[in-house]
Amino acid sequence: MTDRFLHGKLALVTGASRGIGAATAEALAAAGAHVVLTARTTQDLEQVEERIHAAGGTATIAPLDLTDGDNIARLAAGVGGRWQALDVLVFNAAMLGTLAPVPAIDGKELNRLLTLNVIAQHAMIAGFDPMLRKSEAGRLIAITSGVAQRPRAFWGAYGASKAAFETLVLAYGDEVRNTSAIRVAIVNPGPTRTVMRARAYPGEDPATLKEPSAVGEAIRALLAEDFETGRRLELPR
């Protein structure tokens, strides 16, 4: 079923090869958007693209490593050379890292985690800001975690990165609020059946968790709203 807001629009989803990213991309494509899929693994992206096409939607894959700023600049140039405006940008790609007490956090791993979870997001904003501004209603959706606002033992590294991520995207939203149609929303998926969740909670029964498709549909519904920057969507278990 097409959506009035999404039909004929362009969306880009990071971390779109599996889990919440893939489910979100499929939901947006089903609603009529053309979706650019980004992630590191070409084979997994191709499978998502095939599912979208089989369902009657359209998508383009763009395999890349977001930790390389040059890759992001090339992606922005490539997308900008093919399309005039970007209507939806979904920041889903993230690294969990090792859960550990703060004094035991590995510095090198923390650097990699912050590079993907924060620095790469800044590079994406810088690269795609011109295209978002050209949209009649540009939307940036940032996927976060409850530990960004509610610190938890052993989650210091990941939680700190998500807190910084939220601050970054919301500051951007506030900056462009009065000079563009861009609006920024934060989505906390809550417990969801993903690979990252399984790594964090290896003893958890996945049958007790919602499917990523539920998150994808919630994001599609959110995009149909006329929300203001700062909108926060918290999904239940």
Domain assignment present for residue 92? The answer is: yes
Domain assignment present for residue 135? The answer is: yes
Domain assignment present for residue 212? The answer is: yes
Domain assignment present for residue 98? The answer is: yes
What CATH code is carried by the domain that includes residue 121? 3.40.50.720
Contact 142, 173 (CB under 8 A): no
Instruction: Inform me whether the pLDDT recorded for 67 exceeds 60.
Output: yes
- pLDDT one-digit tens code per residue, 121-166: 999 999 999 999 999 999 999 999 999 999 999 999 999 999 999 9
Name the DSSP class of 30: H
Residue 186: give the domain boundaries: 10-234
Domain assignment present for residue 3? The answer is: no
Give every CB contact of residue 81 below 8 A, 6+ residues apart in sequence: none
Q: Catalytic residue, from 158, 170, 184, 209: name it.
A: 158
Does this model's pTM top 0.85? yes
User: Coil, strand or helix: which one is 181?
Assistant: coil
- pLDDT one-digit tens code per residue, 76-120: 999 999 999 999 999 999 999 999 999 999 999 999 999 999 999
Instruction: Inform me whether the pLDDT recorded for 233 exceeds 60.
Output: yes
Q: Which amino acid is at 43?
A: Q
Number of domains the chain is built from = 1
Kind of pairing, strands 34-39 and 10-14?
parallel
Polymer length of the chain: 237
What order of strands is seen across the sheet that includes strand 58-63? 58-63, 34-39, 10-14, 88-91, 139-143, 183-188, 231-234
Domain assignment present for residue 1? The answer is: no
How open is the CA angle 63-47-158, to the nearest 5 degrees? 55
201 is catalytic: no
